[in-house]
Amino acid sequence: MQTVNANGAHIPALGFGTFRMPDADVHRILPQALKLGFRHVDTAQIYKNEQAVGEVIRQSGIPRDDIFLTTKVWVDRVGHDAFIASVDESLSKLQTDHVDLLLLHWPQSEMPLADRIGALNELRTAGKVKNIGVSNFSTALMAEAIKLSDAPIVNNQVEYHPYLDQTKVLMEARKTGMSVTAYYLMADGAVPKDEVLKEIGAKYKKTAAQVVLRWAVQQEDVIALSKTATESRLPENYDIFDFSLSPQEMEAVFALSRTDGRIVSPVHLAPEWD
């Protein structure tokens, strides 16, 4: 598996995401994903499936150190004690003594960013978290988080797909040694139906979805989250490392971006986007 190295973290470039995945689907699909070779698993407190994820990983027989596990702290964990307690609860549910990456899920919270970054650092010092990062942060907030943190910020997980230009975020990340994890890569179902992407895929006998996953991981310091509840699609999502897109094909995918491409932007959580 290709890895992305960011400020000391070694992150598998292709991850298995569990957003909107109920426990039954986690128990059904995640074991197959791990058996196939996925070694990067992404969850969050708000997904309410950490317990199921932890059970599957424990029962998989795969050494814990071989799996890169990410979770995220929700915005309502306000106050130092509540924040720390929520992570202890996540670790208990995940049946592990540490996560490989802990993210602040959204920037807006009643708990000041300095206090949340301080709590992340404390958890890292305690060994409960190997790496810390953020999610859905603008470039200005990325810079602020870096300034507030003693430990390196290794990742910003953001919406990223062919219809949303994230050049500014990517440039800021590269400038500071951070990585970017792309979620919503299928753009809410638009990608598999896109004629440009299907045409590129036909050349390699790949689907439009595989083209976009490949487009993501082929970019410097970008990690792709794939997600499916359909077992037959798992091999398709994983099988993206046996071909490369040409510079012209990469540009053709970038050219699909548009000014109204953002899909995820809850008013009470989102920052002022770049």
Strand pairing category for 68-73 and 101-104: parallel
Residue 43 CA, distance from chain mean position = 9
Please identify which residue in the block is written with the tokens 């790949």. 206
- By the 8 A CB rule, do 244 and 218 touch? yes
Nearest alpha-carbon partner for 16 in 56, 51, 46: 56
Please identify which residue in the block is written with the tokens 């795969």. 62
Tokens found for residue 140? 């200005």
- By the 8 A CB rule, do 50 and 94 touch? yes
What gap in Å lies between CA 44 and CA 53, rounded to an integer?
10
Q: Could you tell me the maximum CA-CA distance found in the chain, to the nearest angstrom?
A: 55
What gap in Å lies between CA 31 and CA 44, rounded to an integer?
18
DSSP 3-state of 164: strand
Where residue 108 falls (left for φ over 0; alpha for ψ -120 to 50; beta otherwise) is beta
Strand pairing category for 9-12 and 40-42: unpaired
- By the 8 A CB rule, do 107 and 69 touch? no
Q: At what angle do helices 195-204 and 247-254 cross, to 10 degrees?
A: 160
The single residue of 47, 160, 183, 184 carrying the catalytic annotation is: 47
Please identify which residue in the block is written with the tokens 């990340």. 173
Active site residue 184: no
* Residue 105 marked ligand-binding: yes
**Residues marked as catalytic:** 47
Annotated binding site for substrate: 105
Task: State the binding site.
Answer: 105
